[in-house]
Amino acid sequence: MRLLTLVPPYRHRHCPPAGAAALLGQARIDGHADLELLDLRPLTPDVLAPTFNPVGTFGESFVMDIPDLPLALGVLAAFRDGGPLAEGTPEPLFERYALERGIHPRWLRGWLADMEAFLEDVWRGLPALSLVGLSVWSSNLTTSLMAAAMLKRRPAPPLIVAGGPQVSESRASALLGLRAGLFDAVVVGEGERAFCEILRRHRAGEALEGIPGVRTAACPALPEASAPLIKLAEVALPDFSRMDLAAYRAPSGQLRLPYQLSRGCTDRCTFCSEWVFWQRFRPASVERSLVQLEVLSARWGVRAFHFTDSLLNGHPRQLRAFAEGLLERDLQLDWGGFMRAQMDPETARLLRAAGCSYAYIGVESLSDETLAAMNKRRTRAQNLEAIDALLEAGIAVSVGVIPGFPGDTRARFLATARELAALAEAWPGRFSFNVEPFVVSPAQPLARDLDAVGLRPVPWPPEILDITPELADLLEGVACAVEGANQGAERAGQLQVLEVLTDATRGAAASHRPEDLPEDRARFLSAGSLRLALVKQRGRLVGALLRPEEEARLRALVQEGRPGAPLGQHPGFASTWRVLLEQQAWRPGRRAWPARQVERVEDRHRLWVPDHVVGRVERGRLVLAHLLNGRSASLPAALATPLAALSEAAGAAPALRGWLPQRELDDLHRQGFLQVLPPSA
């Protein structure tokens, strides 16, 4: 099996992965229909960035090159020495690292151990793998290295290809994985062409060296001929058929698919690396976009889309033509995305009429002097005009603001904060601002000359590099933090001002957010005639259906537990939970098979009840609950036996033919209670 894998943590909030859909679409038309997808993110509690924090306890401004370097090196050291991957960072260094980032060391060690257990369980349940592709972001570099290390410990390890923003921007991240033997190849930049060429050569048994845009252990430097940019007219239709789309539905039932109208950005902000990644702005034709959206909407029954463009209005006339095309075709879509502060009332009303319901604007500051230093090419007046035009048209607006930008001043920043807070009060529920602390990352234009903006790099301590001395040469020039203009206490103070002016959740999201389901808590949801209890075990979500008296008992035990201590360490809770699991129609397993989305369940399909579906017989009915989207269903109790069998091993669709008509079988699949497995699973 050749498998594209997304390792947590990075956000999955009710939207399938855009990059994976693009790769799968291109692979399909290039003849690689055997490529499957396994997205592990929905199976474990959601968390933003558990292993690092951009703002230190003492006001440090940490660099986003390898922000959790001590943990990443610990994984590499443990792989080298054959030990537990979560324990590779020496304890004194681990504790100091965690405390300097405002993370409790015991919590972080426990989270890493849980993630190691979760990944072990996943890989144990998968068949032989010949190639695994990993999508790597800064938030999941350490866990992606964990996943790769486990795969490389297999008797027959697969070829591992890493790609994504982190290994594209951070050269050191890519080289560490290659030198340590965890990555066999790294795709830099746009991935479709390079990854499909890797798939072709892998099937043909050919070497991977020399592919434009690809680093290998033998040739860590990129080939002289860089990969040509992809024309959007040649980009394949995103493929969501390898995804369990029900897992991404919001509790309301809405599913929002990602899509791109363009790639790249027309602006050249000094603090942004995204425009460097995409190199130049490339819009797709309006007709192509309308046709593809119509196809996706009809194929998956979806009316909501999130446009992942760096800049939706990079070509204003084309965006207006797109909106007019939506109205002419009467597609009635709900959509939104990122826009520059370049908007007039007439255009805003047109966009709203065409279904645009929200917009994110990178305002960053309302000081003309600071905006000029950022090379935003926008003014305070233009920012406010765009915000007003969108809000008056009925489009919800969220803006970004950057505390700690070098060259800003306290007076300018406070004026910006006050003005944004006033807008939030004037437009409650319609206007918000995101706190985005200034950080340095390798591909930013300002990172090329830190002296010019008054910043000084702070290197990682030698004892950190000594965790893996054989790799220390790869880390020359990789900074731990920066000091200087508007950093330290000044940056921390500006961040605190914004957190005072906004709600606690949004403020925490700017720096460090704990898991949405801590190991010492449980969550309770409605599930038809029963209640659904969710807890965290071995790093993953586990659920059980409860009667009212059972819920009351479980809630009391949770309240009795010691804060911060796992529920599994509470004897009363652990024994009660075991009894409750025995009352379920089937026990939760430890497998996470890749699934496919189909329009109709056919006799040739193999079906499986996924581990995030629980069932219980109650009053002559089988109640089902989906842990990820919160949906429930009620079926005849006699279905408990065949579904329990399908929770243990995949079976052919005819196994349910005598119990359910085709319409109900298809509906169970669409809601996520049944998954269709690929033939190789």
Tens of pLDDT along 407-455?
999 999 999 999 999 999 999 999 999 889 999 999 999 999 999 999 9
Mean pLDDT, residues 81-91 taken together:
97
Give 115's pLDDT tier (boundaries 50, 70, 90): very high
The whole-number pLDDT of residue 603 equals 85
Domains identified in the chain, total number: 3
Both 143 and 102 in a single domain?
Answer: yes
CA pseudo-torsion sign 350, 352, 355, 361: positive
Nearest-5° angle of CA 391, CA 395, CA 400?
Answer: 75
Q: How far is CA 54 from the centre of its chain?
A: 18
Domain end among 229, 246, 265: 229
Q: pLDDT, tens digit, for every residue of 218-271?
A: 998 887 666 788 888 889 999 999 999 999 998 888 899 999 999 999 988 999
Both 207 and 280 in a single domain?
Answer: no
Phi–psi pair at 359, nearest 5 degrees = -145, 140
Report which of 587, 646, 637 is spatially closest to residue 617, judged by C-alpha positions. Answer: 637
- C-alpha span between 193 and 187 (Å, rounded): 10
Count CA within 13 A, CB hemisphere, residue 220. 15
> Is residue 9 pLDDT above 50, yes or no?
yes
* Structural domain boundaries, residue 378: 255-438
**CA-only gyration radius of the chain, Å:** 25
Nearest-5° angle of CA 138, CA 141, CA 142?
Answer: 130
Q: Which residues contact 292 (CB under 8 A, 6 or more apart)?
A: 237, 259
Mean pLDDT, residues 646-666 taken together:
87
Give 511's pLDDT tier (boundaries 50, 70, 90): very low
Mean pLDDT, residues 358-366 taken together:
96
**DSSP labels, 188-236:** -S--HHHHHHHHHHHHHT---TT-TTEEESS--SPPSSPPPPPPGGGSP
- C-alpha span between 373 and 375 (Å, rounded): 5
Residue with tokens 């965690």: 98
> Is residue 506 pLDDT above 50, yes or no?
no
Task: Tell me, yes or no, whether 59 lies in a domain.
Answer: yes
Both 542 and 617 in a single domain?
Answer: yes
Domain end among 438, 465, 492: 438
Residue with tokens 């350490």: 142
Cβ atoms of 405 and 437 within 8 Å: the answer is no
Task: Tell me, yes or no, whether 137 lies in a domain.
Answer: yes
Lowest mean pLDDT among 143-147, 500-504, 564-568: 500-504
> Is residue 590 pLDDT above 70, yes or no?
no
Task: Tell me, yes or no, whether 249 lies in a domain.
Answer: no
Task: Tell me, yes or no, whether 501 lies in a domain.
Answer: no
Task: Tell me, yes or no, whether 492 lies in a domain.
Answer: no
Q: pLDDT, tens digit, for every residue of 66-84?
A: 999 999 999 999 999 999 9
Both 322 and 205 in a single domain?
Answer: no
Ramachandran assignment for 460, one of left (phi > 0), alpha (psi -120 to 50 degrees), beta (any other): beta
Give 512's pLDDT tier (boundaries 50, 70, 90): very low
Lowest mean pLDDT among 144-153, 364-373, 568-577: 568-577
Mean pLDDT, residues 267-287 taken together:
88
Residue percentage of the chain with pLDDT more than 90: 80
Task: Tell me, yes or no, whether 247 lies in a domain.
Answer: no
- C-alpha span between 188 and 153 (Å, rounded): 25
The whole-number pLDDT of residue 505 equals 32
Whichever domain contains 346, its CATH number is: 3.20.20.70
Task: Tell me, yes or no, whether 462 lies in a domain.
Answer: no
Give 157's pLDDT tier (boundaries 50, 70, 90): very high
Domain end among 438, 456, 480: 438
> Is residue 655 pLDDT above 90, yes or no?
no
- C-alpha span between 190 and 311 (Å, rounded): 17
The predicted model scores a pTM of 0.95
CA pseudo-torsion sign 19, 21, 23, 26: negative
Both 262 and 220 in a single domain?
Answer: no
Give 503's pLDDT tier (boundaries 50, 70, 90): low
> Is residue 541 pLDDT above 50, yes or no?
yes
Both 272 and 221 in a single domain?
Answer: no
Both 539 and 626 in a single domain?
Answer: yes
Both 105 and 204 in a single domain?
Answer: yes
Average per-residue pLDDT for the chain: 92
